[in-house]
Amino acid sequence: MQIGVIGLGRMGGNIARRLMRGGHDVVGFDQNTAATSALADEGIAVTRSLDELAARLREPRIFWIMLPAGATTESTIEALIPLAAPGDIFIDGGNSFYKDDIRRAKACAMQHLHYVDVGTSGGVWGLERGYCMMIGGEKAVVERLDPIFETLAPGHGELLRTRGRSGPVKPSERGYIHAGPAGAGHFVKMVHNGIEYGLMQAYAEGFDILKGKASEKLPEEERFDIDLAEVAEVWRRGSVISSWLLDLCASALADDPRLAGFSGNVSDSGEGQWTIDAAMEEAVPAYVLSAALFARYRSRVDTTFGDQLLSAMRFGFGGHVEMPQ
């Protein structure tokens, strides 16, 4: 199919490449011309403006927007609407907040435009492994785009089929689903990221406990000096906790078991926060997902005012003086 890709950074560039390699007719655009030249060299048609992009695409046009969520995506969609014709399809492949999708889809529908949101997982490995996609939008429109999703998805691969499934292989078994109306794709992707934080923190705490077992604060006969890279490696095989994240731990620890290249200042995208918001709106307890998010906040500061207040209270009732750190 013919498709315009807007935003050719790390994610968008690889999306464009994988589509091109899959035989689609890709036309790209990025404000940053440095990003576009590499792709042009690889044979992707590149345009210099949204107008030019719109002009190059046959109606009904398909725009895949792969930009930072928030203001950038919003203003791009606003700029595209006047260039679009009834029946055109906007696909937001970034990490937009699902309530923005719901709102935008409504606004697009008033212009007889279609809006599809695609939560995309796969990171820097997607070009090679394919992208896991969670899609929201009108059923007929999502079905029309099937060749695009088919190309981008990882495909069925070597993975054993899930016990309990039979019959023809469904798209979910090739790596993409139509999750519901507009917003549902990014909602599922948001929860995916929320879970991701929780999984990561579970490994982080576990390896912390393994490492701490060598601490000189412990009685000598209860200390173990455990090879963390070996532990991560062995858990990859036959253990209950094998996972792709564990594979990444194994790789990082194989490179350097002390992880000296990392200071432990951990960013978070908005999706962890939105997941907790959703949990609260639904009154679902999310102890683990929230704690995982808070651990990231805490990782980014040396101390908190709250910690200081704890010390001040301890001094107040017990005369306790702080230990030097």
Which residues are known catalytic residues? 189, 196
Cα separation, 63 vs 54, whole angstroms: 9
Examine residue 220 and tell whether it contacts a second copy (CB under 8 A). no
Give the shortest CB-70-to-a second copy separation in angstroms. 13
Which residues in 2-61 contact a second copy (CB under 8 A)?
Answer: 10
End-to-end CA distance of the chain: 61
Give the shortest CB-262-to-a second copy separation in angstroms. 4
- Which two three-digit tokens encode residue 264? 């432990």
Which CB contacts under 8 angstroms, 24+ apart, belong to 123-127? 124/10, 124/14, 126/11, 126/14, 126/15, 126/18, 126/152, 127/14, 127/17, 127/18
Nearer to a second copy, 67 or 276 (CB): 276
Question: Of residues 21, 112, 139, 298, which one binds a second copy by CB under 8 A?
Answer: 298
Question: Of residues 89, 91, 250, 271, which one binds a second copy by CB under 8 A?
Answer: 250
DSSP-derived letter for residue 219 is -
Question: Of residues 1, 129, 144, 150, which one binds a second copy by CB under 8 A?
Answer: 129
Which residues in 228-247 contact a second copy (CB under 8 A)?
Answer: 230-231, 233-247
Cα separation, 11 vs 126, whole angstroms: 8
Q: Are 90 and 114 in contact (CB under 8 A)?
A: yes
Give the shortest CB-98-to-a second copy separation in angstroms. 8
Examine residue 278 and tell whether it contacts a second copy (CB under 8 A). yes
Examine residue 154 and tell whether it contacts a second copy (CB under 8 A). yes
Examine residue 81 and tell whether it contacts a second copy (CB under 8 A). no
Examine residue 124 and tell whether it contacts a second copy (CB under 8 A). yes
Stretch that binds a second copy, among 33-41, 64-72, 80-88, 149-157 (CB under 8 A): 149-157
**Total residues contacting a second copy (rule CB under 8 A)?**
157
3-state secondary structure of 308: helix
Omega before 60 within 30 of 0, i.e. cis? yes
3-state secondary structure of 285: coil
Question: Of residues 29, 63, 97, 131, which one binds a second copy by CB under 8 A?
Answer: 131
Write the binding mask 174 to 213 for a second copy: x where contact by CB under 8 A, - elsewhere: xxxx-xxx-xx--xx--xx-xxxxxxxxxxxxxxxxxxxx
Give the shortest CB-324-to-a second copy separation in angstroms. 7
Cα separation, 80 vs 140, whole angstroms: 22
Q: How many CB atoms sit inside 10 A of residue 257's CB? A: 16
Cα separation, 93 vs 68, whole angstroms: 10
Question: Of residues 41, 71, 158, 168, which one binds a second copy by CB under 8 A?
Answer: 158
